[in-house]
Structure 1
Amino acid sequence: MTLNGETKRDKPEKPLRPIYHCRVQGDTERKRGCGGVTIGSEPLEDFVLSCLFFRLDTPDLGKLLDTKPETGERLKKLLEDRSLLEMRKKDILKDYGRGDMTREEMLFSKSEAQAALDDINHEIDQVSRSHQANALVPVDTTVKEAWFATDSLQWKRGIMDLVIDKIIIQPGGGKPYYECQLSDRRFRFDPERVEVKWKA
């Protein structure tokens, strides 16, 4: 279940602090959460951003920005190939329905077509993300520099969507001290609880 942003007061005399909490039930859906996982939002965001900057201010960003003049034609060809493969899958079922192939032949042919379709969809995703990256990241600017130069939440969300699939928070035990990478703050926070799933 998605973590919800909330505030928490650890003791009556302590100030409120922002957290993420896996609530038992969300506001807009009945999907149930564990109700127990809680993590401080400030150190979590610092850790995730540090991972993001490290990943994108490396050759990984270069790969995303490697858009050649022929990329548009390449994308057009990929979309055409995908359309042909989708038609091929329908034709296979029609051939099987007419009795032109056995069930084994149909399953094999359908599996081959689906594997080729999966490969093409993956390549289309890569090319599309490359276009997105070029539109989002200014030339001769690191992602970190661009991030702190804008207040646009939409832009920041777009950058994260380019490379992050999801972030998994595990239940926590001990809480070592964590020195923030992007500020001089210090928190009780265990980075080992956080798993960032990157898009391939």
Structure 2
Amino acid sequence: MSLPQVLTHRHTTKAYDKNRKIPADQVSQLLAALRYSPSSVNSQPWHFFVADNDAGKARIAKATSGIFAFNAPRVMDASLVIVLCARNTLTPDYLEALATQEQADGRFASEEAREAGHKARSGFVGIHQQAGDVATWTQKQTYIAQGFLLLSAALLGIDATPMEGFEAGILENELNLKEQDLTPVVIVSLGYHSDADFNAKLPKSRLPEKDIFTKL
């Protein structure tokens, strides 16, 4: 399929076939999409919790209680569920670890280049620290990773459901997120839709191009 065909075929899945599992090699590709997602100044301000078994999915599903109970089957019946979390702070130690990894990966021609890159990134983080919006900024970066994950899944013929409908406090307690200085941003279920997925049968609806594009 062409890219427009993939985009129009992709939809938010409402019901999964719990008997169909994503092949291991494609799971690896999905995780690679997250790992290689772009982020501002290569800050990579995220952490991903991955569940591919009933026990792991049940821990995540605890957060889909009460008013969000409608999302519980979309967690438990999916093949793979990922909790995308954002870092609340970017500490000096974390920024140093990024520079060390970049150096190990051969991104710097010299020690001077390493220090210049590290100083530039730290300065940019400092701007957000002074503005008091580091957590908001890192969450925005995490949504970029979600976009890469959803598109990669669609290209592989895998269905997905992004969910903000969950109790963040429950998930924070279950996954010890506060101790790790993380905030849960979105849950994404992945797998293959079942016949009960009404959304798979509906046509895509978007505003017309003339309403959302302005050519300069």
TM-score, L = length of structure 2 = 0.25
Which structure: larger Rg?
A: 1
TM-score, L = length of structure 1 = 0.27
